[in-house]
Every structure is written in C-alpha cells, then in structure tokens.
Amino acid sequence: MASTAAVLALLLLFVPSLHAAVSGKACSCYLTSTHDLFNTYRVHDFRRLPIPASIPALPSQLPPTITDSTSHSSIPIGTLQQGFLTSKEWTSSWDIQTWGKGVNNETKYKMWNSLSSVYIDYENITTTITTTTGKVGTRLVLKTRRFEGFQISAEVENLQKNLLHASTRIRARVLGDPGAVAGLFYYRNDNNESDIEILTRDEASAIWYSNQPVLDSDGNQIPNASTRADLITNSLTDGTQLTSKRSSEFSWSDWHTHRIDWTAGKSSWFVDGNHVLDKTYGVPTATAYLVLNMWSDGGVWSGVMDVGKEARLEIEWIEMAFNTSDEGTENKEREPGQGGDGCRRACVVDDRAPSLSAAGRIVGGLREGIMAAVVVVVLAQWL
C-alpha cells in the first residue's frame, strides 16, 4: 500500500495535463505544489469590479480626541468609499481597521488607519475587460501618506479568524516613496505572526520574510527570525548580518504573486511560483488570520517618510487554501471542501492567476465557472 506522500507526489506529476472545469462541490480537499492538504478554498478577486464613482480624500488632520494616550483605540477617521467596499461581498470577509498609535520613544509621529486609505481604483488597460466605459482593470489599494506631525495608514483584516495552517497567494505590487512598509501576514499576537514585508526605502529586489518575535528583550535581532531575500542574486541575509545588494532586474513595483505557506512547524515563502525560503523558528502555533497593511510611523523599521509623500499596496487577487480550528470561530462557516467523506477528491491549486470569469466574486469553496488554476484529481483508496 503506497504512502500518502508518495501518492500525492505521483499525482502532481500529472497536473499539467489534467486542467478542467469543476465546481467547488466536486472537491473535498485542496492540494498545493508542496504536497500540503487543506480542507477549504477561497478566492478574493478585485480585477473586475464596478468602476467607483470617486476615491475619498485622505483626512488632512487628526481629531483632537486622538492623542498619544489613545494608542490602539478604534477612532474612525476618513470616509468609506461607496460601492464594493460597502457591499456584503466585502463586509462579510474583510474589516477595515480604524486604530492607530501615538508617539513613543521608538517612533517620530502619530500613525492612524483611515477608512479613506482603503479603496478600489482602476486604470485603462488594453489587455483587460471591455465595459460600457472602455477597457479597464480594477484593484484593491491600501495607501499611506505623510502629513505634518502624523501619518495616515491602511490596514484590513480577514474575518476568517480561526485559520490553523494555510497557503495564501497574493497578486500585488508596491508603489511610492521611501519610508513605508507593505505587510502581508498571518497574525494572532506578537508571538504568533508570520510576515511578508516590503520596505519602500529598500532596493526594489529586496523582500523581508519573518516569524515573530524578531527582537529579544534587549531589542537585539534574534538569529533566523527575519531574513531579507534578494530576488535577483537569490541571496538570503539574516537580519543579524544584513548587507546591501542592489539590482534593477526584479522590482516589487511590478506585479508579482507572493505566496506564504504556514504548516505545522514550518513557514515557507514563494514568489511567482519559485520557492525562496523556509523557516522553522517562531512558526505560529495559535489560530490566526490574514492581515494586509501599508503604514509608516517614522520608526527604525519603516523609516521616515517626507511630508506630502505617499506609498500604495495594490492587490489584484488573493487565493487561500486553509484549515481551521474550532477555536476563534467567529465568522466560521461550513463550506464546500469540508465534507465528511475525507480527502477522496482533491483539487490541486497551482500558482497561476484565478480565471477572470469569476473576478469580482468573493466565494467560499472554489470559484464558479472555468477553473484555470485548479485541477480535479480523484484520489485512490490509498487515502
């Protein structure tokens, strides 16, 4: 009788020839290229949304109720963009954050998350979809901007709060001025966090991969906690031994698919389907959720952004395969792929973009329609 790992490896050899159209109900589990199995699949696609009427202006001043002592309190500022971000499709899956923090001995100015900092934007692109207003492509944007004395930032949390291992792919780019951080990460608390971070003051080929905590009680870097990857030279530099390397052949300002896998005892990172790094230090052990942010506080990590400057994290789509725990079950639903028949039918999730036929839909289970990124594989009785 063959082992499960051997069967999965054998099945993956046939993946290129098995692409087909399927429905979510056909799948009882989801298989990644690293042979990890997950029981739930979800895609969040922002490429084909209604064109927004306007983009809200960022608040140019903080209310007097926001002081250094109100750090991490939720005080909504800014204006929520009408349209998709007020629809059930968005609000049932995501929450725009409105907390902030004051100045302390590690930062130079207040930072506050604004409702206006998260919005849907679009541009005319000749390769996308024809609508009544022309050819356009939409995307989710998280923006941060420096004002005199404070920074307006952006953060959203996914409402699936009970992830217990996941494989997430995010098609994104980062644009703008030095002094900000784009974050894509699993989070529960400061000791259960696994990050992708892009610093806009870094060279464009550098991405940071970390499991928290990265600093000890004396504020020193912990070996193997944080690694800067140069995606041109393929060099990995531990945070304790950082050296500078520059190259213009890869840039996080271009569209790339960033993947972060969290499995038992291991965190793994990929870019455009290519494996970059594994870590066994600090792998989260508690249930967690996905967070996206774009921020600066003038501290050592983000650096100082000049007044009037800004940076953006733009996202086309997010694809998640994951398992859940009964702990932290807010917003937990039983979905296709969690069936009681065990893993008898696996859908293989690859690193290609989700089909545009489902763009704009946020669904549990697989996308409806043509599934260019998913293959049905019927597992034999070995499982």
Give me 71's structure tokens.
């750090």
What single string gives the DSSP state of each residue in 6-60?
HHHHHHHHTGGG-B----GGG-SEEE-TTS-EESEEEEEE-SSPPPPS--PPPPS
Q: What is the CATH number for 129?
A: 2.60.120.200
pLDDT of residue 382: 39
Residue 340 belongs to some domain of the structure: no
Q: Where are the alpha helices (H) located in 100-211, listed in sequence order?
A: none
Instruction: Please check whether residue 4 lies inside any domain of the structure.
Output: no
In a domain, 89, yes or no: yes
Ranges of the chain whose pLDDT falls below 50: 1, 13-24, 126-134, 242-248, 328-340, 357-383
Place of tokens 């309190």: 73
In a domain, 345, yes or no: no
What are 160-218's pLDDT values in tens digits? 999 999 999 999 999 999 999 999 999 999 899 999 999 999 999 999 887 777 566 65
Residue 30 in any domain: the answer is no
Q: How many domains does the chain have?
A: 1
The token duo for 59 is 């608040």
Residue 124: its pLDDT value, please?
66
**In this structure, is the dihedral angle defined by the CA atoms of residues 269, 243, 191 and 312, taken in order, positive or negative?**
negative
**Cα gap 302→244, rounded to integer Å:** 17
Predicted pLDDT of residue 362: 44
* Inter-residue contact 100 to 111 (CB < 8 Å): yes
Confidence (pLDDT) at 305? 98
Provide the pLDDT for residue 371. 38
Q: Report yes or no on 239 lying in a domain.
A: yes
Rounded CA-CA distance 158/183 in Å is: 14
Residue range of the domain that includes 164: 39-335
Question: What pTM, to 2 d.p., does this model score?
Answer: 0.81
Kindly state whether residue 354 falls inside one of the protein's structural domains: no
Give the C-alpha separation, 353 to 355, whole Å.
Answer: 6
On whether residue 2 sits in a domain, the answer given is no
Q: Which residue has the tokens 């996202």?
A: 315
